[in-house]
Structure 1
C-alpha cells in the first residue's frame, strides 16, 4: 500500500493480490482510497489488474488524484 498527501487529503493506492485464475489478467487488482481527518471520503472499486504491486498502487493513487481534482 502506498500513501501520500494530496491537496489536504490522504490518498492510498492498494494492490490486492489475486489468486491464480485463468480469467484474471494480472496477479494484482488496483484500488484507491481517499481520507481526510481519519474519515473515508471515497473509495474506488477494482480499477484494473496489473502484473506488479507497484503498478496497481500507482493506479490507485492516480485515481485518487483525479477524483480530488474533479471534485475540488
Structure 2
C-alpha cells in the first residue's frame, strides 16, 4: 500500500494479489481510497489488473489524484 498527501486529502493506493491458478503468473488488482480528516471520502473499487504490486498501487493513487482534481 502506498500513501500520499494531496491538496488536503490523504490518498491510498492499494494492491491485492489475484492468483486463481498456481501455474499463472501473479496479477494484482489496484484500487484507491481518498480520506480527509480521518474520514473516508471516496473509494474507487477495482481499477484493473496489473503485472506488479507497484503498478496497481500507482494506478490507485493516480485515480485518487484525478478524483480530487475533478471535485476541488
TM-score w.r.t. length of structure 2:
0.90
Query: How many residue pairs are counted as aligned between the two chains?
Result: 70
Please say if residues 17 and 28 of structure 1, whose CA atoms lie closer than 8 Å, have aligned partners that are also in contact.
yes
CA contact (8 A) 1:20 1:27 kept: no
Equivalence for 1:32:
32
Tell me, which stretches of 5 or more residues in structure 1 are unaligned?
none
Which residue pairs with 1:16 in the alignment? 16
Question: Partner of 1:4 in structure 2?
Answer: 4
1:59 aligns with 2:59: yes
Deviation beyond 4 Å, 4+ runs, structure 1: none
Where in structure 2 are there 5+ consecutive unaligned residues? none
Q: Distance in 2 between matches of 1:20 and 1:56?
A: 17
**Shift, 1:36, TM fit:** 0.6
Q: Secondary structure at the residue paired with 2:29?
A: strand
The Cα of 1:19 is off from its aligned counterpart by: 2.2
